[in-house]
Amino acid sequence: MLSFSHHPDDPIRNAALYILAIFDHYGLGIKDESYTRESSLLNSLLSDLSGSEALTNIRLIPQCDVYIAALQEAQNNFESNRLSFEEAQAEEGTRENASALKVQVVDLINKKVVPYLNVMAQLNDATYGSYARTVVEIIGTNNEVVRTRRSSEDDTEETE
């Protein structure tokens, strides 16, 4: 815009000065703002540039309409991508965390898998007995490690 504000043709120069005044109102500092603030300012700028007088002046300046259309498209893409990002963030917040899933898995193993393996070992010891006893022993050992860790953490908290 600045170069067209020195154009020898008065209508182009005046149109450039008009559009330059709109850009100057927002300033170059717009690029240093947060994404939310920058997006809001760009929407305001584009709104100002879509006024009837602004559009008349934009048409007088060579290639100006192409650049403003590119800015509008970039802003639309940004808002679309940002909306997708925020939707993904919102969905992420509704997912269960690892601790909640761990509790469910441990509960499932201790209340369903272990009893099932015990029953299968009683029904057909030759086929399932060795496997069931091994799995039950591994689960029992892991449960004991967790109990020991919890009790030592509780003891440490009490002494502090």
With 90 as the cut, is the pLDDT of residue 113 above it? Answer: no
Q: What is the pLDDT of residues 17-59, one digit of tens each?
A: 999 999 999 888 888 888 888 989 999 999 999 999 999 999 9
Task: Band the pLDDT of 160: cuts 50, 70, 90.
Answer: low
For 102, the token pair is 């761990």
Asked whether the beta carbons of 41 and 26 are under 8 A apart, the reply is yes
Asked whether the beta carbons of 61 and 16 are under 8 A apart, the reply is yes
Higher pLDDT, 4 or 66: 66
Nearby residues of 97 by Cβ (< 8 Å), 6 or more positions away: none
Domain boundaries, the chain: 4-94, 98-159
Task: Band the pLDDT of 157: cuts 50, 70, 90.
Answer: low
d(CA 151, CA 146): 9
Q: What is the pLDDT of residues 67-108, one digit of tens each?
A: 999 999 999 999 989 888 888 877 776 666 777 788 888 888
Q: What is the pLDDT of residues 117-133, one digit of tens each?
A: 888 888 888 888 888 88
Asked whether the beta carbons of 145 and 130 are under 8 A apart, the reply is no
- Return the percentage of the chain with pLDDT > 90, whole number: 34
pTM of the model: 0.55
